[in-house]
Chains A and B, each alone.
Chain A
Amino acid sequence: MSDETTILLCIATPLAGAVLIAITGSRPNLREAVTLVTAGVVFGLVASLFPQVLDGGRPAAIMGEMLPGLAIAFEVEPLGMMFAGIASFLWIVTSVYSIGYMRGHHEHNQTRFYIYFAVAIASAVGVAFAANMMTLFVFYEVLTLSTFPLVTHHGTDEAKRAGRVYLGILLGTSIGLQFIAVIWTWTLAGTLDFTEGGILRDKASPAVVGVLLALYVFGIGKAAVMPFHRWLPAAMVAPTPVSALLHAVAVVKAGVFTVLKVIVYIFGFDFLAQVASGNWLLYVSGFTIVAASVVALRSDNLKRRLAYSTVSQLSYVIMAAAILTPLSAMGAALHIATHAFGKITLFFCAGSILVASHKTLVSELDGIGRRMPWTMAAFAIGAFSMIGIPPTVGFVSKWYILRAAMEAEQTFAAAVIVLSTLLNAGYFLPIVYAAFFRAAPAEPATAGGPALGAEVGNGGLPRNHGHRREGHGEAPLTVVLALTVSAAGILFLFFFPDLPFALARQLAGVAG
């Protein structure tokens, strides 16, 4: 199979899968088999490109011109390879997870869910492989639109409101700012191809570069740089698999990936460092890291806490990129991978808790580790990775970013990393502690005061307002399986980080 066919198939397969899912929608088993097979095939296709990219090859495909001089074109470079690899691998894991979750949680419209999921993956791969900024922008927007029905899946008023925020911010920033930035780049440079060393050198004054960078960074709303981060917590009304894969991996990573891509291949590290009008980015992302961590610390809703943690972690990538050294580029790329595994594990756990016990608040999790040992063990691993404790992979990327900050003598960045690590520990460790070391409340505390006769209520009837199942155990098997795999991935990547390293090194080579 030629490279061109492989690349196009990477995008076409999930779309074909979506069609098949629609056709087989009335038979859930078959439908889910289709999802799994499609996910497997996509990962196989993406993986088949790995060796070539590792050897320095750049497989490419051109689909034809959209506007005169501007083609829909694809080119696989290390960063895109990494992003596509992560997204397609985790799609398999998430599909396994979704099957247990969606059935265990009795969600409606499951067919629609799987269809749009497949479309979202297709567009995420499109973003990853885009060879020019316009192609990227097109898939970026398709990603926004295809995830909208997933965010609003429940169809409730709350989902509708969240959908408004989601679409309002993502479309507003991308059309309002990014679109202008893209066309401006086009008029300045006469090309939008991602080129090593950037395309704007000698074509834009420092002031213009500063404005353009701002248009890009804020226009890429998916990167959730404050003040355009609100959509991410809002999107948490979605079913957990959506939060897990899309709002911890595909969508948000598409955001930071795009920022990284723009900085490396549109501006070019050297050029940006030379004109020095992009330094503000360091401070904006640093602020986002700390501020989001503080909000996370104060959120009782588990998914909301995870969402703000994501906002904060995304800005790690952006801050790393803003340090503008080869080492920092490497750290940024690695962090995309490590955060993906860490955060998806955490979301899987949150979903698992929800399915098994219908609990959504951090304060309700006391003692849950004994009932759900697998889930909470995985949660602990994910949390360690977020904080950056070895032997989890989160340590690796944080290490590189910190080293880059030190070497570049960016005291601010280093301080932010240290501070936020403390904050991360502050909002993750209590959960782990409570889950394993606190006694479970036999009866959830009522507003009236501490529950009396705790032991007596243990075998009592479920409370009428909720579906709390006090006698719950672990979540469905596929759910546990998926979160175990992703947690194992966190540990595995710490000991065998060759593949992401090889790709990140190549990127660093480009950036340097």
Chain B
Amino acid sequence: MIAAHLPALQVVVPLISAPLCLLLRRPGAAWTVALAVSWFALAVALSLLIEVSIGGPVSYPIGDWAAPWGIEYRVDQVGALVLVIVTAIGAVVMPFAGASVAHEIASDRAYLFYTMYLLCLTGLLGIAITGDVFNLFVFLEISSLSSYVLISMGQDRRALTAAYNYLVMGTVGATFYVIGVGMMYMMTGTLNMADLATRLPAVADTRTILMALAFLTVGLSLKLALFPLHTWLPNAYTYAPSVVTAFLAATATKVAVYAFIRVYFTVFGEVDLFEIAPMVPILMVLALAGMFVGSAVAIFQNNLKRMLAYSSIAQIGYMVLGLSFASVTGLAGGIIHLFNHALMKSALFLALGCVVLRLGTVHIDGLRGLGRRMPLTMAAFVVGGLSLIGVPLTVGFISKWYLVQAALEKGWWPIAGLIVLSSLLAVIYVWRVVEIAYFRPAPEGSAAVEEAPIFMLAPTWIMAGASIYFGIDATATLEVARGAAEFLIKGAP
């Protein structure tokens, strides 16, 4: 039965097609493989999501070694949702990649791009699917190493230093995570998440576990760019090739947030985590600081990719804030924002990719009058921007609604005020771009610019359209997010 092996296929197919790309060498062929694999992975992820929604979590022992000794792949609602997000972004970004990569990456290196993309996809999917804390580390490093390479492929030489800095910080983060895993293993003798969840409460009071929690938190926070551990992110997003930025911004940090949720709500699910350590105030303060610092810095950026990168730091703040509420609504808000932000940020970065293709720059001054010259691209950008602000009928509205509701349910109305206040900062940086693009005339004597090709516009608008569609009818996504949050809060079976 092939259906029973879906969890394995989800990870194995991208993994083995990566070297295939390496062997094919021709950019077109490699692109075809990457495209096919992306769509296949999306199909698998969707069928897993449906299976999980109907029949509950799916467990798959790798190599038939029973858990907790062997490595277990475990798909529950949260995991399945993340799988769908990652694969969907991949599936939409890949058609875009064809033209964009040809434009931004030398053709003799293009096949390496697709190889690395597939490895990165493997890693990200692996993180979302595995039920083993050490295996998670391995996948984390697979995705991270490949994303360092992807970032370093940027045209600007600063891409190299950005990738190097990301590598150093990412490795420190991953190593911290391993230390945490080691300490948990010392105390419990197991690495399986479900098994850990049952054994941790007995030893939760020890200093070792407290240290483990600290190491895990710091390590993962580095990966998900929680303020103030975000310093690698702006340069990495700014100088990476457009496709890479769009893909990583929508997936890499999201998956790290997912890992964070896993550790907090599954591994430590049975422990009253917020009792043994003051995690609520710590996370909440950092999340709020990230929201404000990210948005405030974004206002002053002239490079639009960098502006969006800082905006991502703020948006990550929203997600962490959501889960720091430790309530069903809050966690659902965090998870739904994970999904929604992936949609809007990829739409925005893809739109910028179109701009780079035609203008070769994403400096704000270069966008003068672009609203007339590339109307569809800029319209997609505006949709994404409105979504960042949280205007109704966009996905951003749904996220904000849930986060504010979560804050008010707890009676923390100042937090609710801060959430909307920081989203008003988004108005400023989004509107700067709108004013430049629509109110300034195009520079004198600039070359005629035409719209981006359909292969790039279509993915951009799929994402922009999705951020409207799921903003109008959020019942389906919210049902999944709420289901996932309830499942996490009530503890894994």
Q: Do chains A and B touch in the complex (CB under 8 A)?
A: yes
B398 to A, closest residue via Cβ:
A67
Contact B392 A180 (CB under 8 A): no
Asked if B291 CB lies within 8 Å of chain A CBs, one says: no
Contact A138 B439 (CB under 8 A): no
Asked if B482 CB lies within 8 Å of chain A CBs, one says: yes
- Give A72 to B438 CA distance when docked, in angstroms: 32
A139 to B, closest residue via Cβ:
B392
- Give A163 to B431 CA distance when docked, in angstroms: 10
Contact A67 B392 (CB under 8 A): no
- Give A163 to B435 CA distance when docked, in angstroms: 10
- Give A172 to B390 CA distance when docked, in angstroms: 12
- Give A187 to B427 CA distance when docked, in angstroms: 26
Contact A141 B391 (CB under 8 A): yes
CB distance from A408 to the nearest CB of B (A): 33
Contacting residues, chain B, for A179 (C-beta < 8 A): 400-401, 404, 420
Asked if A201 CB lies within 8 Å of chain B CBs, one says: no
Contact B401 A175 (CB under 8 A): no
Q: Which of B19-27, B95-103, B307-315, B467-475 contacts A (4 or more CB under 8 A)?
A: B467-475
CB distance from A23 to the nearest CB of B (A): 15
Contact B423 A175 (CB under 8 A): yes
Contacting residues, chain A, for B417 (C-beta < 8 A): 176, 180
B417 to A, closest residue via Cβ:
A180
Asked if A184 CB lies within 8 Å of chain B CBs, one says: yes
- Give A138 to B413 CA distance when docked, in angstroms: 22
Cross-interface CB contact of A175 among B390, B393, B479, cutoff 8 Å: B390
Asked if A155 CB lies within 8 Å of chain B CBs, one says: yes
Contact B475 A175 (CB under 8 A): no
CB distance from A201 to the nearest CB of B (A): 19
Contact A145 B386 (CB under 8 A): yes
Asked if B457 CB lies within 8 Å of chain A CBs, one says: no
Contacting residues, chain A, for B420 (C-beta < 8 A): 175-176, 179-180
A149 to B, closest residue via Cβ:
B438
Contact B392 A68 (CB under 8 A): no
- Give A159 to B478 CA distance when docked, in angstroms: 40
Cross-interface CB contact of A187 among B409, B474, B475, cutoff 8 Å: B409
CB distance from B243 to the nearest CB of A (A): 30
Residues A152 and B439 in contact in the complex (CB < 8 Å), given A64-B473, A66-B475, A171-B424: yes
Asked if B12 CB lies within 8 Å of chain A CBs, one says: no
In the complex, which range does the number of interface residues on chain B fall in? 20 to 34
- The secondary-structure label for the interface of chain B is helix
B382 to A, closest residue via Cβ:
A145
389-443 of chain A: CB within 8 A of chain B = none
Contacting residues, chain B, for A72 (C-beta < 8 A): 472
Contact A180 B416 (CB under 8 A): yes
Residues A167 and B427 in contact in the complex (CB < 8 Å), given A175-B390, A176-B420, A186-B405: yes
Contacting residues, chain A, for B276 (C-beta < 8 A): none
Cross-interface CB contact of A155 among B391, B424, B439, cutoff 8 Å: B439
- For A, the interface residue count at a CB cutoff of 8 angstroms equals 29
Asked if B408 CB lies within 8 Å of chain A CBs, one says: yes
Asked if B421 CB lies within 8 Å of chain A CBs, one says: yes
- Give A297 to B390 CA distance when docked, in angstroms: 39
Contact A183 B391 (CB under 8 A): no
CB distance from B397 to the nearest CB of A (A): 8
Contact A65 B473 (CB under 8 A): yes
Cross-interface CB contact of A141 among B392, B398, B473, B479, cutoff 8 Å: B392
Contact B391 A68 (CB under 8 A): no
Contacting residues, chain B, for A186 (C-beta < 8 A): 405
- Give A159 to B440 CA distance when docked, in angstroms: 12
CB distance from A451 to the nearest CB of B (A): 39
Asked if A468 CB lies within 8 Å of chain B CBs, one says: no
- Give A163 to B438 CA distance when docked, in angstroms: 12
CB distance from B425 to the nearest CB of A (A): 11
Contact B478 A68 (CB under 8 A): yes
Asked if A488 CB lies within 8 Å of chain B CBs, one says: no
- Give A68 to B478 CA distance when docked, in angstroms: 7
Cross-interface CB contact of A67 among B389, B401, B423, B435, cutoff 8 Å: B401
Residues A172 and B424 in contact in the complex (CB < 8 Å), given A66-B473, A67-B474, A137-B392: yes
Contact B427 A171 (CB under 8 A): yes
367-401 of chain B: CB within 8 A of chain A = 386, 389-393, 398, 400-401
Contacting residues, chain B, for A155 (C-beta < 8 A): 438-439
Contact with A along B456-493 (1 / 0, CB 8 A): 00000000000000001111001100100000000000
- Give A180 to B421 CA distance when docked, in angstroms: 11
Which residues of A does B touch, CB under 8 Å?
64-68, 72, 137-138, 141-142, 145, 152, 155, 159-160, 163-164, 167-168, 171-172, 175-176, 179-180, 183-184, 186-187
Would you mind naming 8 contact pairs between A and B with Cβ atoms under 8 Å apart? A72-B472, A138-B392, A141-B393, A160-B439, A171-B389, A176-B420, A179-B400, A183-B404
Nearest 8 CB-CB pairings of A with B: A138-B392, A141-B392, A183-B404, A65-B475, A187-B408, A183-B405, A160-B439, A176-B420
Besides A66-B474, A180-B413, 4 other CB < 8 A contacts?
A64-B473, A142-B392, A183-B408, A184-B416
Which residues of B does A touch, CB under 8 Å?
386, 389-393, 398, 400-401, 404-405, 408-409, 413, 416-417, 420-421, 423-424, 427, 431, 435, 438-439, 472-475, 478-479, 482
